[in-house]
Amino acid sequence: MAERASLPSVGEGIPPRLLVTGGAGFIGSAFVRQLLGEGEGFSVTVLDKLTYAGNLANLSPVDSHPGYRFVHGDICDAQLVGKLANEVDCIVNFAAETHVDRSILEPGGFIRTDVLGTHQLLEAARQARHSRFLQVSTDEVYGDVAAPERSHETDLVQPRSPYSASKASGDLLCFAYHATYDLPVLVTRGSNTYGPYQYPEKIVPLFITQALDQLPLPVYGDGSAVRDYLHVDDHARGIAAVLAHGVVGEAYNLGRGEEPISGMMVAQAVLRLTGGSDNLIQPVLDRPGHDRRYALDSTKARGLGWTPEVSFRDGIARTVRWYEERRDWWGPIKSGEFLDFYRRNYRPLAGSAPTS
Ligand code: NAD
Ligand code: TYD
């Protein structure tokens, strides 16, 4: 099982005192839970603004760990970030606005956090003379990739949404700080990630929670756009491997590399596992600029000893079970702010019934 593989410990490459920004979000909290749960001797300060996507409940499994500390704040706050940076050996930056659809509705917050916030962190790391700075980025920076190609780390970045453009800008700033100031940066570019504790706006947790409530699964267009889904435990472990063993100044793709999976295939898998009717599938107006395909070549990260262990088949079944059991976690989220976003975002296909 993926959870049983051990992480590098102190002395095996990961600096002992880490500032994990965005650690109350989906992937950041998985990384913190892994590090404090399996690694030895680490102390982790989580800095998180607790936006709609941040949730302290994601960190409750570690909140009594002696090496854990939470600071509520913004990565754009230069003074706070400067102070915290002086108390640690490295920064792992997960903090970001992360949902493509929200970036289409309101891009400004993405530029602020993903570009200006990353800049503040790089400045703080430079002043503190850190031994590592890891920027958590995404496969979306490569843009749409035609089959059968896979993106390599040396490919041009060609982002096409405000989200992916803001992330690509963050990556470029990291490489500029390496070239100019010799800051030891590392960039990971993970593929679409799913698993427990994911805010129900991305396709997997949205479709699972909709199906569990017998509500429509809104599939964009004809549902044929594909992604390379990676389980969050594998993603978090990949970030740890790059942090421990990566060559500074370089990017590392983190993808599972299975056959890419379409939106319609995700809907069908979720309905099969939840016993929901196919009638719940609701085609909706396509996302503007919808990238048709992402696919990564992750040979370089595999060369560091990282191997993704969770197949989509097993991972989606485990994830459905988790959401079935943890309605206490997601039930309250699917109200106010979530419903407001849902109503603003989804539009019926011409001639079909309105989304609900
Ligand atoms: P998420 O949306 O679940 O969490 C983001 C976290 O950042 C939240 O806790 C939020 O409160 C915090 N945050 C936002 N703005 C902040 C600010 N200004 N200051 C401090 N904290 C702030 O995101 P996620 O899915 O866990 O993604 C984490 C990282 O991984 C992001 O950088 C994202 O671009 C990248 N990534 C995500 C995926 C994916 O499929 N989810 C895939 C590849 C890469
Ligand atoms: P998403 O989870 O938003 O991730 P990405 O950042 O890669 O776009 O979307 C994954 C795929 O699923 C993408 O092709 C769009 C599609 N999708 C839907 O069909 N319906 C939805 O409600 C969502 C959120 C996504």
Atom of ligand 2 nearest to the CA of 98: 6
Q: Which of 161, 144, 68 is nearest to 110 (CA)?
A: 161
For the chain, what is the total number of helices (H) and then of strands (E)? 13, 13
Ligand having the closest approach to the CA of 219: 2
Do the Cβ atoms of 99 and 106 come closer than 8 Å?
Answer: no
Atom of ligand 2 nearest to the CA of 217: 22
Reading the block at residue 340, the tokens are: 């407001």
Ligand 1 pocket check for 51: Cβ under 6 Å: yes
Q: Which of 160, 117, 154 is nearest to 135 (CA)?
A: 117
- The pairing of strands 43-48 and 68-72 is parallel
pLDDT of 4 strictly over 50: no
pLDDT at 1: 37
pLDDT of 350 strictly over 80: no
pLDDT at 13: 83
Dist CA 199 CA 224 (whole Å)? 23
Amino acid letter for position 273: L
pLDDT of 342 strictly over 80: yes
Spacing, Cα 53 to ligand 1 middle (Å):
8
Ligand 2 pocket check for 225: Cβ under 6 Å: yes
Section 3-26 average pLDDT? 79
Ligand 2 pocket check for 118: Cβ under 6 Å: no
Q: What string of DSSP letters covers 255-295?
A: ---SPPEEHHHHHHHHHHHHT--GGGEEEEPPPTT---B--
pLDDT at 348: 87
In a 3-state reduction of DSSP, which class is residue 51?
coil
Reading the block at residue 150, the tokens are: 């896979």
Higher pLDDT, 89 or 351: 89
- On average, the pLDDT of the chain sits at 95
Reading the block at residue 220, the tokens are: 């964009």
Dist CA 49 CA 72 (whole Å)? 6
Ligand 2 pocket check for 174: Cβ under 6 Å: no
Do the Cβ atoms of 286 and 221 come closer than 8 Å?
Answer: yes
250 φ, ψ to 5°?
-120, 160
Dist CA 122 CA 81 (whole Å)? 10
pLDDT at 356: 56
**Residues acting as catalytic residues:** 139-140, 163
Ligand 1 pocket check for 196: Cβ under 6 Å: no
Ligand 1 pocket check for 136: Cβ under 6 Å: yes
pLDDT at 259: 83
pLDDT at 40: 72
Fold (topology level) of 17-198+230-257+290-309: Rossmann fold (3.40.50)
Dist CA 207 CA 197 (whole Å)? 14
Atom of ligand 2 nearest to the CA of 163: 6
At 148-196, the pLDDT tens digits run: 999 999 999 999 999 999 999 999 999 999 999 999 999 999 999 999 9
Classify residue 218 as exposed, middle or buried by CB count within 10 Å of its CB (0-12, 13-18, 19+). buried
Whose CA is closest to atom 4 on ligand 2?
Answer: 202
Spacing, Cα 94 to ligand 1 middle (Å):
5
pLDDT of 3 strictly over 50: no
Section 82-103 average pLDDT? 98
The confidence band for 355, taking pLDDT boundaries of 50, 70 and 90, is low
At 250-259, the pLDDT tens digits run: 999 999 998 8
Atom of ligand 2 nearest to the CA of 294: 7
Spacing, Cα 350 to ligand 1 middle (Å):
34
The confidence band for 97, taking pLDDT boundaries of 50, 70 and 90, is very high
